[in-house]
């Protein structure tokens, strides 16, 4: 049971570099989310996609873009990485509006 799979697990970027974080789920869920987790801040929503073809901003969208490629895949792109984007990024998915979300194992990103 794969659930939610994120790649890569670890990444180090230089300031100004770009990269895309990949996320795929095999639970046939409609909604997918990207969160970031920082010490003392809790999990904060970056972007979400309520269904295939739609995306919306969350609490902290600046510096990020997303693509809902199909029902399974939801990617997060950093166009020009900054040290403030050093964080642990989690992708999650849920079946419907009131259901629990299932999380991937996270991507630990360091921007130097």
Kindly list the residues in this chain that would bind another protein in the complex (CB under 8 A).
4, 31, 33, 40-45, 48, 50, 56, 58, 90, 92, 94, 96-106
CB nearer another protein, residue 17 or residue 52 = 52
What's the min distance (Å) between Cβ of 103 and another protein? 4
Cα-based distances in Å from 46 to 2, 43, 64, 72, 92: 23, 10, 8, 18, 12
CB nearer another protein, residue 75 or residue 105 = 105
Q: What are phi and psi of 96, to 5 degrees?
A: -155, 180
What's the min distance (Å) between Cβ of 22 and another protein? 15
Q: What are phi and psi of 41, to 5 degrees?
A: -115, -15
């Amino acid at each position: 049971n794969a659930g939610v799979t994120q790649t890569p697990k670890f990444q180090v970027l230089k300031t100004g570099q770009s990269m895309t974080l990949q996320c795929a789920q095999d639970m046939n869920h409609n909604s997918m989310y990207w969160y970031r987790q920082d010490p003392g801040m809790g999990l904060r929503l970056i972007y979400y996609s309520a269904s295939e073809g739609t995306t919306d901003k969350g609490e902290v969208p600046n510096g990020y873009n997303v693509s809902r490629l199909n029902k399974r895949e939801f990617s997060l792109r950093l166009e020009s990485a900054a040290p403030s984007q050093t964080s642990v990024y989690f992708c999650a998915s849920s079946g419907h509006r009131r259901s629990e979300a299932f999380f991937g194992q996270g991507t630990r990103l360091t921007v130097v």
